Amino acid sequence: MSSVPGPSREPPRYLSKAEAEAIEKELLEDYRFGRQQLIEIWGHACAVAVTKAFPLPSLPRKQPTVLVVCGPAQNGAIGLVCARHLRIFDYEPTIFYPKRSLDPLYRDFTTQCEKMDIPFLSYLPTEVQLINDAYNAVVDAVLGAEAELGEGRGPCAGILATLKHVRIPIVSLDVPSGWDVEAGSSGGISPDVLVSLMAPKQCARRFLGRQHFVAGRFVPYDVQKKFELNPPEYPGTECVVALSAPQ
């Protein structure tokens, strides 16, 4: 049995796309995590990060509204779980999920949100002032680490064009939409908050927003050691922690 490590003194490792995929594959195949389980862990952690970045008493609007914009793949499913937990945490999320996946797992996450009376937008206003006036923040769950370069120029292009112009804070999940996992921004959005899943990706070195959280406490110690993740210290029972800027 592996001993529990002490806090890492090394800076956390920033992963390539291949490394992130290898870790996820090991969790699914060797450690027998389920895909639903991982998405639930990540979505909950992302919601916790939102509550740390934007505590209820600090919100500028009377209603604690948050817009969660979800893409069709795994990052969108994480966004759905994030929205559900934000509702449990007494926020008022609204979801925009224009290209719903036919994956039964993702449909289950959608049903859970619907059953909790979380509203779904039928369209995203192109007049960004409507978004600025209605919400305190936007959660970007459009494209994640699994997105191929160029996807931001496809069906998601209109969404990204709108998000680039909003004036309220944006929280991106794992990889800001429109960014390359390794090279970083290439005309993508500029989030205020980034929540890295498992470990930061290489693109996070180019993140210039105000808070960068990592949600990787659940990763088994042997996996941390094998991939030399050098995770930060998580205080108490925290599942996410804020990182300082990379050196």
pLDDT tens digit sequence for 57-112:
999 999 999 999 999 889 999 999 999 999 999 999 999 998 888 888 889 999 99
User: Percent of the chain beyond pLDDT 90?
Assistant: 69
Asked if residue 42 has pLDDT above 80, the reply is: yes
The domains found in the chain, sorted by start residue, are: 33-243 (3.40.50.10260)
Strand partners of residue 179: 185
Please name the helix (run of DSSP H) or strand (run of DSSP E) that holds residue 107, with its range, or none. helix 104-115
- Count the alpha carbons within 13 Å of 49 in the hemisphere toward its beta carbon: 32
- pTM higher than the cut 0.85: yes
- Name the phi and psi angles at 120, rounded to 5: -115, 130
- The pLDDT of residue 182 is 76
Q: What is the per-residue pLDDT across 205-245, written as a single tens digit (0 to 9) for each?
A: 889 899 999 999 999 999 999 999 999 999 999 999 999 76
User: Percent of the chain beyond pLDDT 70?
Assistant: 89
- The pLDDT of residue 178 is 86
Q: What is the mean pLDDT of the chain?
A: 89
Asked if residue 153 has pLDDT above 70, the reply is: no
Q: In this structure, which amino acid lies at residue 133?
A: D
Measured over the CA atoms of residue 49, residue 125, residue 127 and residue 174, the dihedral's sign is positive
- The pLDDT of residue 246 is 52
Strands (E), 9-157: 65-70, 92-96, 120-121, 137-141
Asked if residue 141 has pLDDT above 90, the reply is: yes
Residue 174 · residue 75 · CB < 8 Å? yes
- The pLDDT of residue 46 is 97
d(CA 230, CA 225): 8
Position 247 confidence tier, pLDDT thresholds 50, 70, 90: very low
- The pLDDT of residue 102 is 87
Asked if residue 54 has pLDDT above 90, the reply is: yes
Residue 131 · residue 61 · CB < 8 Å? no
